[in-house]
A = this chain, B = another copy of it.
Amino acid sequence: KKDYRIAVLPGDGIGPEIMQEAVKILTLVGEREGVTFTCEEGRIGGIAIDTDGTPLPEETVKLAKHADAVLLGAVGGPKWDQNPGHLRPETGLLGIRKALGLFANIRPATMHSSLVDASSLKPEVVSGVDLIVVRELTGGIYFGEKKRYDGPNGEVAEDLCIYNEAEIERIIRVGFDIARKRQKRLVSVDKANVLESSRLWRKVAERVAADYPDVELSHQLVDSCAMQLVRAPKQFDVIVTENMFGDILSDQAAMLTGSIGMLSSASLAAGSFGLYEPVHGSAPDIAGQGIANPLATILSVAMMLRLSLGMDDAANAVENAVWSVLEAGHRTGDIATDRSKAIGTLEMGQLVRDEL
């Protein structure tokens, strides 16, 4: 009998409410599949700042390292917005990515047919969109040296964008591996006409491509990709890009679907270990009201089952349960066209479990 340890980090805002529903789903999956999930809670973000004086306590890192996978809610809120850098919730997020070696961020943007109306794009432009942004998550300008000093023209600030071949190669391979299992089309996004790091990126992508003759590799400049995502998002299968560009493009791609409350993400280390979280934030404005959409977190559980625990059937079952509930017309406020009929967090969670 299998026994998995899952580190559960609810975080701030709506994090705890939606995480509760995700854990209930996980428990049900365990019963059905004859697997035990031992969920251990840890603190990260604002709650950790308040309780432990740091957004990422050592204890949380240890907990995560000893787990088979991590489920994260969301971090942040106005309460900590004016804090100095080392006492900000996001610093905990960046810290855990680095501490756990989570170099590959996987962000699917899929347009579910029953939600086409939620998009700001025309139905014919977005229906059928099914793309994945693979973002490098532990390198580039996020983690390069930062400086601040006085100069003849006032203060000067510096951020270094730095990549080595090994860092680029491993994320490009993740991109190819994912594309191979899908439509076999990989678009590598860079700014090779301006940046040295992009020129190295492109060179490595070309070299690695030799190992994937069955996948079609093309290159797009980041500005051009931002245009194409608006103009014709269906052209994309898998996009692979560096940390900063991936931050922007994955959010842009997510918003194309119009239902960011439905999107989940995986942040993977080498091997099968990964951290799973919804794409939406901590939504402090609606926290505690019981109206947050738990589906992105529930879909994060499905991603975890598939990518870290190898439980493909269970993952599909969870995803199918979510689609069935949507097809039956149930909606939380964020994706409802008629808000008066919107249901709450608990109800939505229960409906998915009933369907399972």
Contact = CB atoms under 8 A, between A and B. Distances in A.
Nearest to A233: B120
A161 interface: yes
Interface of A: 88, 90, 94, 120-122, 125, 141-142, 144, 146-148, 151, 153-167, 169, 191, 193-197, 199-201, 222-224, 226-232, 244-245, 247-252, 254-256, 258, 260
Contact of A226 (B122, B194, B228, B252): B252
Contacts of A196: 146-148, 157-159
- Stoichiometry, as copies per complex, reads 2
Contact of A155 (B148, B157, B164, B248): B164
Contact of A122 (B120, B153, B201, B228): B120
Contact of A156 (B162, B193, B252, B260): B162
Nearest to A125: B120
Interface centre among A88, A120, A191, A232 (most CB of B within 10 A): A120
A199 B90 CA distance: 14
A248 B232 CA distance: 16
Nearest to A247: B223
Contacts of A94: 194
A68 to B, nearest CB: 28
A159 B252 contact: no
A207 to B, nearest CB: 10
Contacts of A197: 157-159
Interface centre among A125, A151, A159, A193 (most CB of B within 10 A): A159
A157 B166 contact: no
A252 B161 CA distance: 23
Contacts of A193: 88, 90
Contact of A248 (B153, B160, B223): B223
A231 B248 CA distance: 14
Contacts of A247: 191, 222-223
A11 to B, nearest CB: 15
A195 B224 CA distance: 24
B153 A164 contact: yes
Given A120-B125, A122-B122, A166-B153, A227 B200 contact: no
Contacts of A167: 153
Given A196-B147, A251-B223, A160 B157 contact: no
A157 B356 CA distance: 49
